[in-house]
Structure 1
């Protein structure tokens, strides 16, 4: 008889249960990790449908891989991030030239005034557009470290680089992001004169 999962079950425990045929473990893993995996894919790809496809594929791979799961130093969460990151990179490589006609909407707080909500939406769109203009590795480092809040060790493991290399990517990415946003501001100001 299969029992329901408790919040106390670790991801490793849930993977072992899933591998043993306890299908009730999978919804718990989905509930815990689907939102962050989807968000990661959305930030890297900038497209809702593709992000949903990547998240679905990452969890399908987890489902299929569960019977062979061996703790090799990476947590299931880190493993999912790595799979989702690789799937995003594959999709980005297949794109020839990408011109975003619309920037994905970032949810705003309904308590904000309409003008504050509009400013937040515009600011978010500018940041997302600048983020999309970064080289893939810099964008990934920034998204994993700042948007997803992963530790440097986790982000470096997902990118399969050392922590010093991650720090270098972050520094270059922040610098380029500042340049892009400053250029955007100058263009806006130039258009007013």
Structure 2
């Protein structure tokens, strides 16, 4: 059947004609929507929404390139969905209480005590491990930064950290912290 005939039937309420149009263009609409959203599940939902909008907009269709017209509806619907999702994400991050604000004085004290215990335990480690462990775990430095600071090869730093972890597993108890 020709598209123009199907479109006229859809306007008159023929559900079978609508099914035929959806079946014919579902892959095209999905591709357009997925190209914008990059999420399979969301693309399926927006593709369905596109066909609903198509039915609502059919009275304004001017018999000029149905596939292009439908693709434009799909693209705009996908953009709207993407913008809506972005606004929701922004709203959630905007109103989420910050981690710092929710810390109680007790939590801060416990964190400080834990930090002191870890620092004291690191001080008791063998000299070869102490510096690299402190630099990596406490100061957050990379292997390369530690290597240049200690004038050693990165592989040496990597090996010392590996051995330090083994030493910690043997000498430290979880209850200590």
Kindly indicate which of the two structures has a greater share of residues assigned to helix: 2
With CA pairs under 8 Å and 6+ residues apart, which has the higher RCO, 1 or 2?
A: 1
Query: What TM-score do you get using the length of structure 2 for normalisation?
Result: 0.44
Q: Which is greater in Rg?
A: 2
Please give the TM-score of this superposition, normalised by the length of structure 1: 0.41
